[in-house]
Amino acid sequence: MPSSAFSSPTTWPEGRAMLLRLDQALALIDQTFAPVAATRRVALHEAAGAILAEAVAALAPLPLADNAAVDGYALRAADSAAGPAGFAVIGRAAAGRPFAGTLGPGEAVRIFTGAVVPAGADTVVMQEVAVTLEAGRVTLPAALRPGANIRRQGETLAPGAAVLAPGAVLTPLRLGLLADLGHAEVAVRLPLRVALLSSGDELVAVGTKPQAHQVIDSNRPMLRALLAQAGCIVNEYPIQPDDRATIAATLGTAARAHDLIVTTAGMSVGGEDHVRAILEAQGRVIFQRLALRPGRPVGLGLLGGAPVLGLPGNPGAAAVAFLLIGRPLLRRLGGAMPASLPRVTLAAGFTWAKPAGDRVYLPGRVTGGTVRRLAHNAASNLVWAAEADGLIDLPEAAQAIEPGTPVAFIPFAGAWP
């Protein structure tokens, strides 16, 4: 796994001095990791939604040949220099059915949009300005301009012109473009193989009725769906007990078979935060704990060459941390181009004296051009997910927010992988 010269400390103090900002954490992801997803050449019909693994250039000119941009008549512009002239219509050219001959003086060919311009012709006159004199003859305006209404061969793209860079997502429109440029197959990145595991003696599987001291592992279906939505192949491991040796063995097995490990809980500074301790002892901590709420106890490390993304155990915090850290990490490892989260500026529909220190993300609901802060916004659950359509993004500085204050908003539509 490629890495930068950045060397993280093996222990982190509790104080705020070592808390990284979000932008610093994102920079470390770019510095530390390179794409790890394998590549394969596939037919275009198999490439929808895949990430392009190589630069793509035009194999042929676009257009392939000079063709008509309008319906009308193809002729020689020089024939109109002396004034309005009558032309003998000697044939017809349509898309896919070109005129086979060569135009001579005083001759025209009836032509339709997309048809190849006949040999000898250098202009196309729109049918609206042609006047039919008699069967087989038309008169056209004087002083016709050479090249008018003709799409020239290669005027859009010349052979060899760069079209798509590695990391581009192959949307349906881009697949159509590749076909237009002569490509029948393309090299793409294969899906990332991701191991998903959660730890904690308090966790019980989805569908289990929890006792008072237990918590349903709601992170698991949420993260599995988010990873699958990002195109990953997800392998789930059983809930891990709060036992360091057991977790270490599972992480070691997962590291040998996956491109990425995603865990929940275990990355903070407590005595039961075993994932952090395992990375410190057996691997490498890249960052741990950010100046971010919710999501402060998110961390990233390496174990046996595999990246380990440690998300918070609280579901609300895990969701936000996945969006802010997991999304760019998946794009980096998967070979996709960097892509910022969508943001719009809206008027605040709430009052809050935000303290300085952390970058804060509040679940919000938009009505018109106003976003309101939801009453249910705890990091410990996902109740806010029933109503929120995005996150209010408040920077680290202190801010007195009143109704009407401009605030940044990340709409969920288009934000998730």
pLDDT exceeds cutoff 80 at 153: yes
State whether 128 and 181 are in the same domain: no
The whole-number pLDDT of residue 213 equals 95
**Does 262 fall in a domain?**
yes
For residues 327 and 398, membership in a common domain is answered with: no
Strand extents, DSSP E, 350-395: 352-354, 359-367, 370-373, 390-394
Residues 49 and 33 in one domain: no
Q: Is there a single domain that holds both residue 174 and residue 226?
A: no
pLDDT-based confidence at residue 82 (cuts at 50, 70, 90): low
Number of Cβ within a 10 Å radius of residue 69: 15
Q: What is the mean pLDDT of the chain?
A: 92
Residue 401, pLDDT above cutoff 50 = yes
Spatial contact of 371 and 348, defined as CB atoms under 8 Å apart: yes
Q: 179 and 72, same structural domain?
A: no
- How confident is the model over 233-260, as pLDDT tens digits? 999 999 999 999 999 999 999 999 999 9
Rounded CA-CA distance 295/142 in Å is 73
- For residues 376 and 382, give the distance between their C-alpha atoms in angstroms, rounded to a whole number: 9
Tens-digit pLDDT profile for residues 252-301? 999 999 999 999 998 877 777 899 999 999 999 999 999 999 999 999 99
pLDDT tens digits, 363-393: 999 999 999 999 999 999 999 999 999 999 9
Q: What percent of the chain has pLDDT over 70?
A: 95
Are 268 and 174 contained in the same domain? Answer: no
- Distance separating alpha carbons of residues 327 and 290, to the nearest angstrom: 16
Same structural domain, 217 and 228:
yes
Which residues does 50 contact at the CB level (< 8 Å), separation at least 6? 42, 169, 170, 188, 189, 231
Both 276 and 196 in one domain: the answer is yes
364: CATH: 2.40.340.10
Q: What is the DSSP letter of 377?
A: -
CA distances from 319 to 156, 167, 220, 381 (A): 44, 25, 11, 10
The Cβ of residue 88 has, within 10 Å, a number of other Cβ atoms equal to: 14
pLDDT-above-90 percentage for the chain: 86
For residues 44 and 180, membership in a common domain is answered with yes
Q: What is the pLDDT of residue 267?
A: 85
Report if residue 105 sits inside a domain. Answer: yes
pLDDT given for residue 83 in this prediction? 67
State the pLDDT confidence band at 320, using cuts at 50, 70 and 90. very high
The angle that helices 244-257 and 274-282 make with each other, rounded to 10 degrees, is 60
Count of structural domains, the chain = 4
Residues 117-129: pLDDT tens digits? 999 999 999 999 8
Q: What's the confidence (pLDDT) of residue 144?
A: 85
Same domain, 407 and 271: no
Beta strands in 2-154 (DSSP E): 39-43, 51-52, 56-57, 67-68, 72-75, 85-93, 107-111, 123-126, 131-134, 137-140, 150-151
- Give phi and psi for 177, each to the nearest 5: -60, -45
pLDDT for 67 beyond 70: yes
Range of the domain at 46: 40-57+163-189
pLDDT digits (tens, 9 = 90+) for 324-365: 999 999 999 999 999 999 999 999 999 999 999 999 999 999
Alpha-carbon gap, residue 272 to 274, rounded angstroms? 6
Instruction: Give SS3 for 41.
Output: strand
